[in-house]
Amino acid sequence: MAMLEIVDFGKRFTIHHLGKTMNAIQSINLSLEAGEFIGIVGKSGSGKSTILKSIYRTYLPDEGKIMYDSERFGEIDLAQVSERQMLYLRKYEIGYVSQFLSVMPRTTCRQLVTNALLEMGESEAVAFEEAEKALAHFELDPKLWDSYPNTFSGGEKLRLNIAMATVKKPRLLLLDEPTASLDQQSKIKVREIIEKLKNQGTTLVGIFHDIEFMDGLCDKVYDMQKRQLTTTKEVVSYES
Ligand SMILES: Nc1ncnc2c1ncn2[C@@H]1O[C@H](COP(=O)(O)OP(=O)(O)OP(=O)(O)O)[C@@H](O)[C@H]1O
């Protein structure tokens, strides 16, 4: 089977204070083979993040299936798996990067990246070394390594977020605008890591506002308006 197959997916939200239920998205069908990178494009509010959050099960899907080919559990529907299975998948198989850093308080930047590796079963020596390599790659100033990230700038938080997710070399990586507040140099660093992971077989789904960043990186682009797969070239000409 495909690594990920989204079938007739839909999500509603209940706005309690208005006593209303609203359809966020409906009728999403999307399939990715192992090692593929699909970018999602569409206007603001079209439901791009909702798709990623539903794959990661931050949101529970209301309609359809999200079939994932797990190394540990085989073919499973992420809309149906238990919380326990989902915790396992988040730890070992599925990574998620958003613009927002949400981490354990009073944990240093270095500890956060090291812990990501330790919880996957790496030895302390390897975890420590790989964590330093990742922090250096994303050009986080060594002076920050032993500080708490609550005082980091937006771009520093984002680079730490990406380091924590990518150091684990997940099978499936979900990227929700991982380059949003980054300068060109940092964007290139993110691109290098994505290329490296892709070469190592990671399957990726990403949202980027910067379509040029996706060109040559994504294998296909899912267009929320057309509800179909297309190429970055077509999207660039369609947007301009
Ligand atoms: N937790 C939530 N509660 C209520 N409504 C929500 C929630 N999350 C998303 N929505 C709504 O679902 C719709 C899709 O939101 P989503 O964040 O997925 O869009 P998006 O395409 O990622 O937008 P953007 O490009 O602006 O980030 C929006 O109308 C949004 O208001």
> Per-residue pLDDT tens for 125-134?
999 999 999 9
| Per-residue pLDDT, 176 | 93
Structure tokens at 201: 């077989």
How far apart (Å, rounded) are the C-alpha atoms in residues 17 and 175?
31
* Domain parsing of the chain, residue ranges: 34-61+91-239
Alpha-carbon separation of residue 238 from 108, 136, 224 (angstroms) = 44, 38, 13
What was the ipTM of the complex prediction? 0.97
**Residue of 50, 54, 174, 211 best suited for mutating to test ligand 1, as the one with most atoms within 8 Å of CB:** 50
CA 121 to centroid of ligand 1, rounded, Å:
36
- Answer yes or no: pTM beyond 0.95: no
pLDDT in tens, 136-179: 998 899 999 999 999 998 888 888 999 999 999 999 999 999 88
Name the H helices within the chain.
48-55, 83-92, 109-118, 124-137, 154-166, 184-199, 211-214, 232-239
Assign a CATH topology to domain 34-61+91-239. Rossmann fold (3.40.50)
**Residue with CA at minimum distance from ligand 1 atom 29:** 45
**Residue with CA at minimum distance from ligand 1 atom 7:** 13
Pocket of ligand 1 (CB under 6 A): 13, 24, 42, 44-50
**Residue with CA at minimum distance from ligand 1 atom 17:** 49
Please report which helix (H) or strand (E) contains residue 2, including its range. Answer: none
pLDDT in tens, 35-84: 999 999 999 999 999 999 999 999 999 999 999 999 999 999 999 999 99
145 in Cβ contact with 108 (< 8 Å): yes
